[in-house]
Chain A
Amino acid sequence: MSRIHIRGGHLIDPAHRRNGPGDVFVAEGRILALDTPPAEFTPDETIDASGQIVAPGLVDAAVRLREPGATRKGGIVPEARAAAAAGITTLLQQPDTTPIIDTPSVVELIHSRAAAADAARVRPIGALTHGLGGEYLAEMAALRDAGCPAVGDGGRPVANSLVLRRALDYAATFSLPVVITPEDVALAESGRVHEGEVATRLGLPGQPAATETTALARLLALVEELGTPAHIARLSTARGAEMVAQAQDRGLPITADVAIHQLFFTEHDCAAYNTAAHVRPPLRTQADRDALRQAVAEGVIGTICSDHQPHDPDAKACPFADSEPGLSGVDTLLPLVLRLVDEGLLELGEAIHRVTHGPAQAFGLAAGTLTPGATADITIIDPRTVWRVTPESLRSRGRNSLFIGWELTGSANTTLVGGRTVHSPAL
């Protein structure tokens, strides 16, 4: 493995509040030292990072790679490569593949495909319940031993409170982080958009904010009683963010994430039956969007994810209610997070935190930091490249971005995973 000297960049390591010029020395797949080279370090390769940001590789806390099961939409190899080219070095894959990630063999399959990709790491989140059916516990200990860093409901909420309570307890036995989707299945009903004026005008079944807050209240009550931690997936409402903040203030072991598109769009983007804006949870009101932004700024929401859900064109080329939810997001996560800096919502260090150290902490990953000794997952960011999002500009197989037409600033110049260059201008 090559020894790399990353020279003259602007280092950002949120784990250590590092934010300034510095050099990084990499060997044996690990970060050897910062600033001063270790004795007798002779680099095989020197990367000139002047004028660029050197940050931990991004950790995307929620992606669907469509493999196994729906490779017409994506695939581990193309999506992991698209992610690496976008500066993401760790992908947390949702368990709702076909078959479900509820046995070690599926985990092994994903690992072997990810190894073939030689790109971003793929970390499968195990199913919380067998088949994500919400009835029987999945073999969480076996999943952990196979390499799942966490377990979760994969967007199929456990309706039965007793099952959820026991799943939280059982996962805690094995120190597995648990990811829970705050969605009350009955209230969600067939709702495709936020319940409000837009839903009323379009005649689409609406999903009230209480879909989220009701489920959240149940989860928080269980967490409070059991003392087990939980990570809340894809917050979408102002009230939900407020509930999480209050729970954190009371000392509950709660972390939360938000999908980046929730910080830029509202229910109004569903107007004219724009199926690209069909996401779950639905885009909500301006007030919700603003509150989510505030919660991100205050650190209540410690993780921003892409909620990457690539689709084939057919999935969106139909009436809204028939279309499949989700958007393709890995390509745009990094520049959109940088945009939050430009818009004054976050300091650069905080912004990088929300896509590195934040998710790494929430999921107990040894990633998202430039600490000497850590795995050399590093992204060198060109903060000035301006590019327009077009279907052709996306490396993901899914062209279903909601940001088509946007002009974004910033891109990954070079991406290292375990000290190997998986993306660079030369590649």
Chain B
Amino acid sequence: MSVQLEPNGRLRHLLTTEGLPREMLTRILDTAESFSGVLGKSVKKVPLLRGRTIINLFFEPSTRTRTTFELAAQRLSADVLNIDVATSSTSKGESLLDMLRNLEAMQCDAFVVRHADSGAAEFIARHVRPGVAVINAGDGRHAHPTQALLDAFTIRREKGPLEPLTIAIVGDILHSRVARSQIHALLGLGAGQVRVIAPRTLLPRDIQRLGVRVYEDMDAGLEGADVVMMLRLQRERMRGALLPSESEFFARFGLTEKRLERTHPDSIVMHPGPVNRGVELDPRVADGPRSVILRQVTNGIAVRMAVMSIVLGGYSDATETGLEESPS
């Protein structure tokens, strides 16, 4: 039973891209497309969520994701409350459920949740009272659906329909919630081929069952790719004996201009940020003409606006998003 979808197909929460029907994925992207028009205007606000309260509940530090969620909520005229729960204070003293009950008592309409535990967002979604929506802003290694949707949105904008595309995801697949959500979102949207490229120590067991092709050789994996999605490598991976060094990782799995030559001549390079320059990406690639990394950030706002408006209002397309009311 899906927690995030109601029986009538309405999106109640956004917890994962796994199992989302293609129509819903497309609808989110289409709605984001309509919002991105607003963002180009001088007055960037729509009154869609006026009077609604959204709580950014972050159990893990994050600047980028939290900021874009905050901006998205503000652009929709919602009231936003940021709660940063330092890891140290989430001791066994107050349980997650207790905290949830307390926040619910403040009459909020949605929680945007980031938590270090896989399944935390789903757990919260199962326990919020009816009418409160939960948007997953990253849970452990499990999912980061808005990141994946903004990536899909960026690809669609840059490259058009996903069906003919070969998309390679490179790096620390094992620990990456972004990669898991990307895989489900891209395949759900009908992407031609999704590849993952990593050394074996950074590949989760049975990842091919998710529908991807697995490459342990970077050059082979990049061959003919239309999109290269790099993942961030956490520095602590050396300690767990997953990798010998950053330099060895970069030498085998870093994206350089030379390696990029193996991809399709019009390929684009993406990264969820923040980039470890010289570890995942050669700075010349990160700043080069194929890089769409900054556009991903911009698109993140529109996509998060789309998700918020859909889970909080059930609005289906641009004509219902209140865009007509916005000054032109």
Contact = CB atoms under 8 A, between A and B. Distances in A.
B143 interface: yes
Contact of A273 (B95, B119, B210): B119
Given A314-B95, A319-B118, A203 B205 contact: no
Of A195, A201, A204, A314, the most chain B CB neighbours within 10 A belong to A201
Contacts of A201: 18, 180, 210
Nearest to A198: B206
Contacts of A317: 95, 97
Interface stretch (B134-142, B250-258, B279-287): B134-142
Contact of B205 (A196, A320, A321, A322): A196
A203 B177 contact: yes
A320 B177 CA distance: 16
Contacts of B209: 197, 200
Given A272-B122, A319-B120, A322-B117, A200 B96 contact: no
A203 B95 contact: no
A303 B239 CA distance: 40
Interface in A275-332: 314, 317-322
A268 B206 CA distance: 14
A254 B204 CA distance: 34
A200 B122 contact: no
B140 A199 contact: no
B310 to A, nearest CB: 23
Nearest to A192: B118
A314 B204 CA distance: 30
Of B1, B18, B118, the most chain A CB neighbours within 10 A belong to B118
A88 B139 CA distance: 42
Nearest to B124: A319
Given A272-B122, A318-B96, A200 B210 contact: yes
A206 interface: yes
A326 to B, nearest CB: 17
Of A195, A197, A202, A272, the most chain B CB neighbours within 10 A belong to A202
A321 B118 contact: yes
A202 B210 contact: no
Contact of A197 (B3, B140, B141, B205): B205
B123 A319 contact: yes
Interface in B116-172: 117-120, 122-123, 139-143
Contact of A204 (B118, B207, B210): B118
A203 B97 CA distance: 22
B114 interface: no
A258 to B, nearest CB: 23
Interface string B74-111: 00000000000000000000011100000000000000
Nearest to A322: B117
A391 B141 CA distance: 32
B123 A195 contact: no
Contacts of A199: 204-205
Contacts of B115: 319
B15 to A, nearest CB: 10
A146 to B, nearest CB: 33
Contact of B117 (A200, A206, A208, A321): A321
Interface string B167-208: 000000000010010000000000000000000000011110
A204 B207 CA distance: 13
Nearest to B121: A319
Contacts of A318: 95-97, 123
Contacts of B177: 203
B139 to A, nearest CB: 7
B129 to A, nearest CB: 16
A320 B210 CA distance: 21
A113 to B, nearest CB: 27
A195 B177 CA distance: 17
B123 A203 contact: no
Contacts of A197: 205-206, 209
B95 A202 contact: no
Given A314-B95, A318-B97, A319-B123, A202 B206 contact: no
Interface in A9-59: none
A206 B142 CA distance: 13
B50 to A, nearest CB: 33
Contacts of A322: 96, 117
Of B119, B120, B122, the most chain A CB neighbours within 10 A belong to B119
Interface in B228-270: none
Contacts of A206: 204-205
Interface string A254-272: 0000000000000000001
Nearest to B241: A186
Interface of A: 195-197, 199-206, 208, 272-273, 314, 317-322
25 contacts: A196-B205, A196-B206, A197-B206, A197-B209, A199-B204, A200-B180, A200-B205, A200-B206, A201-B18, A203-B118, A203-B119, A203-B139, A203-B141, A203-B142, A203-B177, A203-B180, A204-B118, A273-B123, A318-B95, A318-B123, A319-B118, A320-B117, A321-B119, A321-B140, A322-B96
Given A200-B205, A200-B209, A204-B119, 11 more contacts: A195-B205, A196-B206, A197-B209, A200-B210, A202-B119, A203-B139, A203-B142, A273-B119, A273-B122, A314-B97, A321-B140
Closest 8 CB pairs of A and B: A203-B142, A203-B141, A273-B119, A319-B117, A203-B118, A200-B204, A197-B206, A319-B120
